[in-house]
A and B are shown apart, each in its own frame.
Chain A
């Protein structure tokens, strides 16, 4: 090994040591402006937290663009800062937002409360459908877990959060009625989707999902569906074996567009759904709008 190189390696070691010294001076999150800083990985949970917490919370959501595919999300420094500052973090889990765990590990904090919805619902299977905010019958438990997280992060306003939880659960009533109405009128009706996004909603409404699992999974993971899965899916539509097609408008690919046109050509109603809550809508208004669109589609 040459002397020059030894010198350079020593220099590199000194630089690295300087970096270690810099890293030792870390700080961790703090609530902003007297409000509890809440970060929700998905804005559906952000909306629920904002409604329960009212004026005591400042909610930031990370996945919030219904025009962007959440699978292609990459965290930037702003996201890292939001997680570092948060007193309460709400995340879905079930593999939907694995970036959250990394951001939390990168910004360790003894005070941060983390609510993982999948844990609150006892969902641990690796192949579970992760779109838990569509699970209307279990939204009560989701909201209760979020309220409990707020109480732990900010015990001073416990009564406000309890009242907020009761208020929010009342606001879910129209959505529950809409889902119950689909079950009563169209229960057992066959439907299909491009992705399992509204899967729990279909279960709650008692609809029969005929989508080939391999098709939905491939679309979900951005991989290539097998020829037989595409053929099965197309057959459902051209053979009029389903009464509605639910399309995730957030992850459009040439295949989903083609499936959509097949449905339109066969006269099968298409219902657009999104994974992410559109701006300006509350969680329950969004879900109710989609449930009503499904009701209308099944009525045609």
Chain B
């Protein structure tokens, strides 16, 4: 069955979609982890679900609603440009209210809400050619955004106080980071689902930062770990009919554990 599966169009699409999502997740993840904003990833993805539920109520495409929800929350979190102790509690407050709104949307919706609830778990085997094209376009936007503002983005992530003192537009870069994160999250949701976005955006970047202090190398490592996790996870789920997202999160976590246990760095 494994070889027959490897010949299937939907498996190729899944592997490609996984690769595209892994590259952007691994790249943006490094900036998010450097900022210490992992919790924000969770907020952005959960509120993507709220956006999808809102789209159902309005009768528009749930995926479009999810992207809009993620972007809105990403923009708000970026504008708040939160630092230090205040950040976690502020994100928690935004996240909780957003989920409450999601619950309201679900109850307002008169029909069948499976399209929104399906987003919680992702469906990598159901990616169409059109969706793959959209994923690729969004990925190009995110990678271009990172490349265009690479140095100031990194500077403001590593040391926002010094960057601000040197005249770097810290707030604008914070908004940019969170908008790029929102786009990435909206991509990753379609592969691993709302509940497991952290496994692609945070875990590989966190592992990479354990292995190297060089930011460019960290981005590369993070991308490689995310790629191995998604492609490996999809291939394993062809062998063993367990959810793909489980395998992806397991490989990604194994990489993180391995990186933590290594006493030296690259």
Contact = CB atoms under 8 A, between A and B. Distances in A.
B62 to A, nearest CB: 9
A223 B57 CA distance: 14
A1 B11 contact: no
A79 B16 contact: no
A83 B5 CA distance: 12
Interface stretch (A97-105, A168-176, A255-263, A279-287): A97-105
Given A12-B223, A98-B114, A126-B59, A75 B125 contact: yes
Contacts of A22: 12, 15-16
Interface residues of A, number: 54
Contacts of B110: 126-127, 217
A98 B217 CA distance: 42
Nearest to A18: B19
A69 to B, nearest CB: 11
Contacts of B13: 23, 106
A35 to B, nearest CB: 17
Interface stretch (A3-11, A139-147, A201-209): A3-11
B219 interface: yes
Interface string A210-246: 0000100110111110100000000000000000000
A26 B126 contact: no
A79 B11 CA distance: 12
B39 interface: no
Contacts of B90: none
A12 B15 CA distance: 14
A25 B7 CA distance: 8
A83 B15 CA distance: 18
For chain B, the bracket of interface size reads 35 or more
Interface stretch (B66-74, B160-168, B241-249, B255-263): B241-249
Interface in B25-61: 59
A72 B120 CA distance: 10
B216 A27 contact: no
B159 interface: no
B248 to A, nearest CB: 13
A166 interface: no
Interface string A26-67: 111000000000000000000000000000000000000000
Contacts of B111: 95, 126-127
Contacts of A79: 125
Interface string B80-124: 000000000000000000000001001101111111011001110
Interface in A80-104: 80-81, 83-84, 94-99, 102-103
Contacts of A220: 112
A99 B126 contact: yes
Given A80-B10, A81-B1, A106 B128 contact: yes
Contacts of B8: 26-27, 80-81, 84, 107
A16 interface: yes
Contacts of B254: none
Interface string B200-236: 0000000000000000110110010001000000100
Contacts of A218: 107
B113 A221 contact: yes
Contact of A223 (B1, B113, B219, B220): B113
Nearest to B122: A74
With most chain A CB atoms within 10 A of its CB, the pick from B106, B115, B121, B123 is B123
B147 interface: yes
Given A5-B219, A12-B223, A107 B112 contact: no
B107 A12 contact: no
B142 to A, nearest CB: 12
Given A77-B125, A81-B5, A221-B113, A105 B130 contact: yes
A167 interface: no
Contacts of B19: 15-16, 19
A111 to B, nearest CB: 13
B230 to A, nearest CB: 11
Contacts of B103: 223-224
Contacts of B115: 95, 98
A127 B217 CA distance: 52
Contacts of B118: 74, 98-99
Contacts of B150: 1-2, 5
Nearest to B121: A74
A20 B19 CA distance: 10
Nearest to A16: B19
A76 B244 contact: yes
Given A102-B128, A106-B10, A5 B237 contact: no
B219 A8 contact: yes
A25 B241 contact: no
Interface string B1-24: 100110111111111100110010
Contacts of B151: 1-2
A6 B144 CA distance: 11
B175 interface: no
13 contacts: A9-B147, A19-B12, A22-B16, A26-B8, A26-B9, A27-B8, A71-B114, A76-B241, A77-B234, A96-B112, A97-B114, A105-B131, A214-B107
When A and B form their complex, which 4 residue pairs have the shortest distance between CB atoms, in order from nearest?
Answer: A102-B126, A26-B9, A105-B128, A95-B112
